[in-house]
Amino acid sequence: MKISIQINASPYQHQASDTAWHFIQAALQNGHEIYRVFFYHDGIYNALRDSRPPSDERNIVQRWSTLNEQMGVDLVVCVSSAQRRGLLEQSVGEKVGGYERALADGFRIAGLGLLMEAVIDSDRHVTFGA
């Protein structure tokens, strides 16, 4: 089964990011395909390169980067949500005068068209967070 994921909540304020990550791990272990993970609204904070949790806490941003690196899961950050919150990747940051290199490794920035594509092309779309 091809599954797309949408995450709407920030990584350390709600359980949604952890739950999504564990859901994805279970889905992959059971032979399912994760088509795309789309970070929307406050979910864009999952992609923050400069996130530095204390050493005895889980590093959610690093978990996502590792998922991309090891499994090739497409991690997409909503450009509008990112712009509203000051999180911009280099090319967008240069255009609008925002932060450069703000996205962690493995993430890319795009519009809602990629969310719609994921919903249409997937067998299931699962949303985490309000």
- In this predicted model, what pLDDT tens digit does every residue of 71-91 receive, in sequence order? 999 999 999 999 888 776 556
Sheet holding 107-110, edge to edge: 107-110, 75-78, 33-39, 2-7, 124-128
- What six digits make up the tokens of 86? 């000051």
Helix intervals (H) in the chain: 16-29, 60-71, 79-85, 90-96, 112-121
- What six digits make up the tokens of 117? 């594509």
Judge if pTM exceeds 0.85.
yes
Q: Is the pLDDT of residue 92 over 80?
A: no
Q: Is the pLDDT of residue 34 over 80?
A: yes
Q: Which residues are catalytic?
A: 78
Domain ranges of the chain: 2-128
- What six digits make up the tokens of 45? 């904070």
pLDDT band at 55 (very low <50, low <70, confident <90, very high): confident
At the fourth CATH level, which superfamily is domain 2-128?
A: DsrEFH-like (3.40.1260.10)
